[in-house]
Chains A and B, each alone.
Chain A
Amino acid sequence: KAGVTQTPRYLIKTRGQQVTLSCSPISGHRSVSWYQQTPGQGLQFLFEYFSETQRNKGNFPGRFSGRQFSNSRSEMNVSTLELGDSALYLCASSLPGLARQETQYFGPGTRLLVL
């Protein structure tokens, strides 16, 4: 079974631009969560999608948004990029249900550098 895939793997943008990251979950997984990982703050929860609906949201500004498609693939978008948005963005997928947080499989991440 193929794992979680994320594209692109690396990205360089400049301040003020916007960026879209993509995540394809494991086949059959309908829940997708996004995380931001930085050296200073560690791994922080961004949002979770299930059946094309945002289920949970972390404490991030409105510049961070996401969506999920009917095939469970998900995208996240960051508008008006700031230097502090430089980070590793991880996507994780899981089967739906109460134990979905505990059974997440992580993708390799997209490393975003904002200059």
Chain B
Amino acid sequence: SQTIHQWPATLVQPVGSPLSLECTVEGTSNPNLYWYRQAAGRGLQLLFYSVGIGQISSEVPQNLSASRPQDRQFILSSKKLLLSDSGFYLCAWDMAAGSGNTQYFGPGTRLTVL
């Protein structure tokens, strides 16, 4: 069966510090991968998605970036965090082929920027 991992689970960082969040998927090959951000009490904002190694699409301009160095690894980064970067970061995956594919979420990383 497929499993998706995210770490760390929680993170407190000062403004201006760098960020690296990691997501890995097990039990599947060539998944689509997604990074979402959710502000407190708000909806799911799609940040990035990837259909393959090295292929990243950005949905929202911001000071975040994403990379996919391996098939089942997705990394979210920032060089300098802003207060507005605080939120709940969720990684998700779905099967690459066809439509009607369900997205499955990892447990999330709760980021607080102070």
Instruction: Tell me whether A and B are bound partners.
Output: no
Q: Using CB atoms and an 8 Å cutoff, list the residues of chain A in contact with chain B.
A: none
